[in-house]
Amino acid sequence: TTNTHKYCATSAFVGFVSVFVFYSSFFSSQLSQHMESTAAAGGQADGGQGGQQQQFSGWTRLSSFKSSSIPIAKYKSQTTGLTVAVAEIEGPLVYGFFVLATEAHDDFGLPHTLEHAIFLGSEIYPYKGVLDSLANRCLARGTNAWTDVDHTCYTVEIAGSEGFLNILPVYLDHVLYPTLTDSGFYTEVHHITGEGADGGVVYCEMQARENTGPSLMNRKVAELLYPGHCGYSSETGGIMADLRRLTAQQVRDYHKSYYRPDNLCLIVAGKVDPAHIFETLKPVEAKIVSKGELPKMKRPWSSPVPPFTETQQVTITFPSEDEDSGSAAVAWRGPACDNFETASALRLLWKYLTDSSVSPVLKSMVDIPDPFASDVSFNFYENSVFLQVLKFNGVPTSKLSQLQDKFFEVIKNVVADGLDMDRMASVINRTRLKYLSSLETGPHEKIAFIFISDFLYGKDGELEAAFSEVKRYEALLAKDSQFWIDLLKRNLLDQPFAFVLGSPSKEKAKQIADTDAARIAAQKEALGEARLVELEEALEKAIESNDVEIPAEELEKIPIPNASKIPSIPVATYRNLPSSSDNSPQLTALLKKSANVESEGDIVTPPFFIQLDNVPSVFVELTAYIDTEAVPDRLRPYIELYNKILFEIPVRKDDGQVIGHEEVVKQLVADTVGYSSTIGFGGGSFACGTFAQLIQVHLKTEVSKYKRGIELLKDLLWNTQFTKDRVEINVQKLLNEVPSVKRRGMEMVFADSRLFSFDSAHSNHPVSNLVRQQVFLTDVLKRLQDESKQQSVLDELEEFRKALCHPQNIRIQAAGNFIDNLSDPMSPWLNTFLPERFRTDKKYVDTLSPVKFSSEFRTDSVKNNSSEKVTDILSMAAIESSYLAQFYPGPTSYADEDISPLHVLIEYLTTMEGPFWKRIRGCGLAYSYGIRLKVEQGLLYFILFKSVSLVKAYEEARNIILQFANNEVQFEETGLAAARSSTIFSVISREETAASAITQSLVNYFRGAGSNESQRILANIAKVRVEDLQRVLVKYFVPLFDPAVTNVVAAVPPAFADDTRNHFVTKYNKKANVVESLDAHFGAQH
């Protein structure tokens, strides 16, 4: 359970990343018939859903149809101009999106600062935090929002329709009629502290982002591609210099201009009856009418976009201690927003160029021994005139100057050679499958972004076209190579472009730090001591004014919904374990109908562990969970490299045929919807997820390719071939990723903490540490380049795989709609999967060892209060804000009676507008914070994120805990009720879709839990009382915030390193180390 970030401000062209994913795919032939409209748009009485779509008094239905069986409709109020878009998605959660078109032509960050201020109270509910408090009671986890370059969106995710309808009018009152007080602006946006430093939540966040490499690159691209008077080049988050000059009145004026019902679209995605939505909106509309008629408004983004006519190449520098690698971006204007056909074709063309190691750009620039980049990514930004941006990450600084020529050489070669049309057909097919997949894994956001784009730029009657990419892609399947070449020439080679190079600079880091230190010193001198005292008093008064307590009766007006009425995703499970007593009767019956039944009626199953999960899905997911316990410690460092190369090396089939790595990639793209390999659940590059001793190898296929997917999984585990060239290329790509990760403060805090928290040889957490991996991979690269040693690397990789990929270590999960779509889901595993050498009478599943929790590898430094504790202060020139993690032993079993009280306590303390929110974020000390319970690790974490005053934020958090422990502050029943409700939401949201329900099914198995785990947890949450909170707070949280018995890691700008260290030394008598060099620090621990 962690605190949610209130918003996601973006740089000028960082918008609609998700939309690119939306539109870049179309439906499979299996479901394409559902994509087409079941009625004409335009509000005809018998339109939509076979004539069953209702009309609603006072509302004009603008569009109504089905998208992949999901009813879609859009309405406009005849009274207020409010737009309502509804997608009736099955499942337990309802998502609400409140979207306003917002435009700015400066860098004051007015859209962003207003977005923050909206949550500080409204006319009817004039209390800071009341919206979040009421949302929590409605089975949500607070609210959220983001600011994009062309719109601002407020969100809420709630379990069940009852809670959503209860919070809807409260939310709209905040959006349309906020209080926007001076005191709210002072704490939330910007102020000067009594020490002469700048603070404020918005200021804090923008300080952490403004001078990072990605932010500087994004702003420069937007500035070049959208010249002149154009809002797309504005920094809607706000730059620090302008935030220091911004006033509350400017924010109020901006609200008056843009926050009006005829510029607002309410999107509801979930199982809610539209009739109930419109009934709930009646008093809201009545209040809008009572305010009188609004002046006419010029629609945002209706002005022509200034032309971009001249190619430009620009180099920018960004602060970094490591100057080994930079980045680059090449950008073009795209088609107008209503040119659906060209946009669809360009999305596919870019996928062809960049989607895998066999695509032209990656094959020529990344997947080579001396790469130009570690990775390439493409984004299509859906402005009124689209923006196409190709980014190169991990570019060696020596190659920055060569990048432009090399890229256009590759593109010109594509034009000269023509396209591989078989591969293009594969790209199109896979893209449509990914679209279908995303409707299962994240339908709420996917459909919402289509609605948003239509609201901002669509014309009447275009919504259905936005949802109907299938027709355009079917037409594009028939196009020949010359069509794609002409498209490429018209939109890339014959168009002006901007090429922006990002070069890392130690000097830039020093210059920024020195300049800001001099500015603050001058600011303090100019203000003088008396004025600084006045400013500190003004801040205290603003905080006091903001934090008026919400009367309990106001909160209790909204009832807490009955969680038992919320629908769930059905999952039926069968495991071939001798002890499985709760196997699904339906799956058991299906398997008994198959040919694989012994004479006495027992089901024949494979000798290895297998779990079948039946879920409502048009896909099949195949996952091998491989226990790394058997891997020798001396070989364990190969784990990151193994994950990297698994899908990109040759395969030797059982008959001796060798398939080259390019053909392997082509087959994976053709036969799967997706594939991945991670360390633990949710792991990433140089970071393990939960259950870190596992490697997950995952494939997703169509149902018709179930057996083919099993064959592919077999080849990946046992038939891949390690070759010198393929290993060397992937080692170099991994090494090129390291510098960019080392510039991220929070990631480095966790990288350091895991080194001394877990056994450095046997736990995968420290083994995957990026600097340790850098040392290891550098040595591997040297050996590969030495003919006398390169074979030893290949032999060690083979030994690693041999120890890893044994049936004794493997658990298989296969998930899909087996009952309806497959009559015999078990036979392919019996007949196809295992290599011949493992086909014996041995039942590996009978002697399966439990997967070890990370907590079993905790070091004495973590487990024993008496051991010497670590306090590392990482001095990082690449950051301007500070980060911290502090941790202490927690429960190590998911059955521990303290688990539910701890989750509720964390929610109580860290929820939006809870104690931590008010006294840390609300006072502008840090953008975010969190307390995380990691049962699998056996650790509790306290985290500070993007802090402008780390020591103050830390001490404030500690004081909160001590005040509760000493009964100076009491737990309140209304707060407890809200915390229980939010915790219930967190449990329900784990299984909001079929895909997440599948994952949770296996997670529960590894936890040692049964199929009714969610129900058990919900029942325990409901039982949590105030005395339980007090008990676990004293047991866990008091020592968590006692520096004498905890380990602490902080990442701070160099100017604050000594002061941070001195605080822990002088106040807590702790040994604390300032780490000047990350390489030397991690290398020494290696």
The pLDDT, as a whole number, for residue 441 is 87
Per-residue DSSP letter, 912: T
The pLDDT, as a whole number, for residue 473 is 82
Other Cβ atoms within 10 Å of 951 Cβ, number: 20
Q: Helix 770-784 crosses helix 745-757 at what angle (to 10 degrees)?
A: 80
The pLDDT, as a whole number, for residue 22 is 24
Residue 1043: closest CA among 937, 888, 925, 863? 888
- For residue 437, give every residue at least 6 positions away whose Cβ sits within 8 Å of its Cβ, in sequence order, or none: 619, 673, 674, 700
Q: What is the pLDDT of residues 436-494, one digit of tens each?
A: 888 888 899 999 999 999 999 998 889 999 998 877 888 899 999 999 999 999 999 99
Residue written as token pair 């089939």: 653
With the C-alpha atoms ordered 739, 741, 746, 748, is the resulting torsion angle positive or negative?
negative
Is 308 within 8 Å of 479 (Cβ atoms)? Answer: no
Low-confidence ranges of the chain (pLDDT < 50): 1-52, 1086
Is 406 within 8 Å of 390 (Cβ atoms)? Answer: no
Write the DSSP string, 470-484.
HHHHHHHHT--HHHH
The pLDDT, as a whole number, for residue 579 is 72
- What is the pTM assigned to this prediction? 0.88
- For residue 894, give every residue at least 6 positions away whose Cβ sits within 8 Å of its Cβ, in sequence order, or none: 935, 1007, 1008, 1009
Is 61 within 8 Å of 55 (Cβ atoms)? Answer: yes
- For residue 638, give every residue at least 6 positions away whose Cβ sits within 8 Å of its Cβ, in sequence order, or none: 796, 797, 800
Residue 623 in 3-state DSSP?
Answer: strand
Residue written as token pair 């997608």: 87
Tokens of 405: 């020529």
Query: How big is the chain, counted in residues?
Result: 1086
CA distance 916 to 926: 10
CA 132 from centroid of its chain's CA atoms: 22
Q: Are strands 609-614 and 810-816 parallel, antiparallel or unpaired?
A: parallel
Q: What is the pLDDT of residues 924-943, one digit of tens each?
A: 899 899 999 999 999 999 99
In single-letter form, the type of residue at position 951 comes to: V
Write the DSSP string, 927-943.
EEEEEEEETTTTEEEEE
Sheet with 609-614: list strands edge to edge: 572-575, 609-614, 810-816, 619-627, 690-702, 674-681
**HEC readout, 222-250:** HHHHCCCCCHHHCCCCCCHHHHCCCCHHH
Is 853 within 8 Å of 691 (Cβ atoms)? Answer: yes
CA distance 229 to 245: 21
Per-residue DSSP letter, 549: P
Cα-based distances in Å from 555 to 166, 560, 1023, 1068: 12, 10, 21, 40
Residue 805: exposure state from Cβ atoms within 10 A (0-12, 13-18, ≥19) = buried
> For 327-442, where are the alpha helices, taking DSSP H only?
340-354, 360-365, 403-417, 421-441
CA distance 1059 to 911: 30
Residue 369: exposure state from Cβ atoms within 10 A (0-12, 13-18, ≥19) = exposed
φ, ψ for residue 421 (rounded to 5)? -70, -25
Cα-based distances in Å from 178 to 37, 123, 548, 758, 880: 39, 6, 16, 49, 32
Is 113 within 8 Å of 251 (Cβ atoms)? Answer: yes
| H or E element that contains 332 | strand 325-336
φ, ψ for residue 462 (rounded to 5)? -90, -10
What is the chain's alpha carbon radius of gyration, rounded to the nearest angstrom?
29
The pLDDT, as a whole number, for residue 1081 is 82
Residue 3 in 3-state DSSP?
Answer: coil
Per-residue DSSP letter, 635: T
Residue 45 in 3-state DSSP?
Answer: coil
What are the strands, taking DSSP E only, across 68-212? 70-77, 83-87, 93-101, 144-147, 151-159, 191-192, 198-199
Calculated CA dihedral for residues 969, 973, 978, 983, nearest 10 degrees? 80
Per-residue DSSP letter, 858: B
